[in-house]
Amino acid sequence: MKLASLNTGHPDGALIVVSRDLRHAVRADAVAPTLRAALDDWTRAEPALRALYTALNAGTAGTAANAFDFDAHACTAPLPRTHQFIDASAFLNHGRIMTQAYHPEKQSDPTTPVLIQRQADDFAGPHADYPFPDEADHCDFEGEVGVILGDVPMGTRPADALDHVRLVVLFNDVSMRKHLFRELGMGFGFILAKPATAFAPVAVTPDELGDAWRDGRVQLDMEVSRNGQRFGSPNGREMSFGFHELIAYIAYNRNLRAGMLLGSGTFSNVDYRQTGSACLAEQRAIETLEHGESRTPWLRFGERLRFEMKGRDGQSIFGAIDHRFVQADYVQADYMQQNVTSGVDA
How do residues 211-230 score in pLDDT, each as one tens digit? 999 999 999 999 999 999 99
Residue 342: pLDDT band with limits 50, 70, 90: very low
CB 246 within 8 A of CB 262: yes
Torsion of CA 86, 92, 93, 98, to 10 degrees: 70
> What pLDDT score does 22 carry?
98
Surface-to-core class of residue 218, CB atoms within 10 Å of its CB (0-12 exposed, 13-18 middle, 19+ buried): buried
> What pLDDT is stored for residue 186 in this prediction?
86
Q: How far apart are CA 176 and CA 138, in angstroms?
A: 5
pLDDT exceeds 80 at position 36: yes
Statement: residue 343 has pLDDT above 50: no
- Top pLDDT among 107 and 224 is at 224
251-301, pLDDT tens digit by residue? Answer: 999 999 999 999 999 999 999 999 999 999 999 999 999 999 999 999 999
Domain assignments of the chain as residue spans, ordered by start: 2-74, 85-339
- 8 A C-beta contact, residue 183 and residue 195: no
Does residue 52 have a pLDDT over 70?
A: yes
Percent of the chain with pLDDT over 90: 86
Q: Mean pLDDT across the stretch 167-183?
A: 94
Other CB atoms within 10 Å distance of the CB of residue 345? 12
Model confidence band, residue 65 (pLDDT cutoffs 50, 70, 90): confident
pLDDT tier for residue 339 given thresholds of 50, 70 and 90: low
**Average pLDDT for 314-326:** 98
The mean per-residue pLDDT over the stretch 46-56 comes to: 97
pTM for this entry: 0.94
- pLDDT at 115 > cutoff 60: yes
10 Å Cβ neighbour count for 120?
17
Does residue 143 register a pLDDT over 60? yes
Say whether pLDDT at 346 is over 60: no
Handedness of CA 262, 199, 84, 281 (dihedral sign): positive
**In whole angstroms, what is the distance from residue 57 CA to residue 301 CA?**
40
pLDDT band at 305 (very low <50, low <70, confident <90, very high): very high
- CA–CA separation, 135 and 326 (whole Å): 10
Q: What is the pLDDT of residues 5-16, one digit of tens each?
A: 999 999 999 999
As a whole number, mean pLDDT of residues 227-243 equals: 98
Going across the sheet that includes 304-309, the strands are: 130-132, 321-327, 304-309, 222-226, 229-232
Name 333's Cβ contacts closer than 8 Å, sequence gap at least 6.
none
Considering the domain 85-339 in this protein, what is its CATH number?
Answer: 3.90.850.10
Comparing 162 with 332, the larger pLDDT belongs to 162
Identify the pLDDT of residue 62. 78
Q: Which stretch of DSSP H or E encloses residue 2? A: strand 2-6
Report the chain's mean pLDDT, rounded to a whole number. 93
Q: What's the rounded mean pLDDT across residues 124-145?
A: 97
